[in-house]
Structure 1
Amino acid sequence: MIETFAALLLAHALADFVLQSRWMVANKRRPAALALHGLVVLVTAAAALGRIDAWEVAVLTAAHVVIDAVKAHLPRGLARFLGDQAAHLATLIAAAVLVPDLWAGGLWARLDWAPGAMALAAGLILATRAGGFAVEFLMAPLAVEDLPRGLTGGGMLIGMLERGLIFLLVMVGQPAAIGFLIAAKSVLRFEVSSRDQRAGEYVIVGTLASFGWALATAYATLALAERLPAVGLLPASR
């Protein structure tokens, strides 16, 4: 069962946060965009499981499309994003519980390390890419209009890198090193924070949200990986 969930989680992370284009997101109310995204969901799930003969994958895809269709008619924001992802996660768990042998019947079932690797890959995507959307939605109502401008897309890239580093540090059993990352970012942002209290608070809230998301995702991934065959990349003491 847990192997099936790991495979479906990676498929979901890829379909929603790697392979879903901006056009799909912007046109989710249009049947063509929704159908194309559904096709991506179907293909990634089949590929992750290593099988195309399971009708349950089609049912899971249909559920994904229905959830997205409902989401498209709700106001944008953090609540919609979290609710959407929670609904998708619930369908993945339901599929793994109701059809636990989906993984066992696939091409990759003989690869003992594959489910653990899939869990780690899914966790990294959710920490970096999904975390970026979550932080963006959280910070949107707090936006400071006269905040000094930096490189185009620089803030997004910094956020992805810091969440990725936090994820990796937790995975290798070195969470204490995250303190140095916090200190380094505090030093680099000190000038902006000291000149404008609003900008300083904006940076602090965004940083704490980004770090918190990365930590939560990393430890959730670690808990999942511990229930799967060892990949060989994590510390033996985990």
Structure 2
Amino acid sequence: MTFSLLLVALIIGHLLADFYWQPMSWVNDRNTRHFKANKLYFHVLVHGVTSALIITVWEYTFGWQQLSSVLIATASIMVSHYFIDIAKSYSNKGVVPFLLDQIAHILVIIALSIWLTDNSSFMTAINNMLTDPKILWVVCGYLIILSPCAVFIRMMLERLTSNFSSTGSLPLAGQSIGMLERVLMLSFILLDQFAGLGFLLAAKSVFRFGDLSASKDKKLTEYVMLGTLLSVSVTLFVGLAINYLIS
């Protein structure tokens, strides 16, 4: 309980300081001037003050009331945030550096939360989760419907729609849309929310209706229908199989 409380409080503090209390001018200054950017130090200070307030309240309410723990944890967050943001400022500013940046910050917060709460049961919970067949079957299902399923559908479509070219579309757009679609469908199936599955298919049909009705190419309509039905069929099979295995 105390671990989860401290963890979520620190994550909320991180989100506020990183996204709501950091103007774009500070981000641009950091990306341009890197470690020479004055705004970077202001940003780190905002994180430090926010974290210090949260840790102090937690420490003197649920913890061991040690000021040294507050200072060490706050300093760790500030120093780690400084170096992580400096590393990000030299990146290409894409999605991957953004995700790695946020993951690194969250990992620091998790480590400090474990240290401050002395939560020995945390590793036990992680071990139980990693050895739980139900969780592993769910992870296996999501892995199946992503890349392996995309390869299978592409091979089937190439076999059934030879000499067809989907020109005018973004590279890998169909594959990316299909992956997101299958992730949502599998989630609905595992949650036993088949109404959400119907809503997703209806929404996709509405968005694609204009393209298909305006198109003179019958092959395009058949291609989209085949891809959708294959994606739904495979995801349904995987989802129902996993529900059976974990029940």
TM-score, normalised to structure 1, is 0.45
TM-score, normalised to structure 2, is 0.44
- Could you say which structure has the higher helix fraction? 2
Structure whose CA Rg is larger: 2
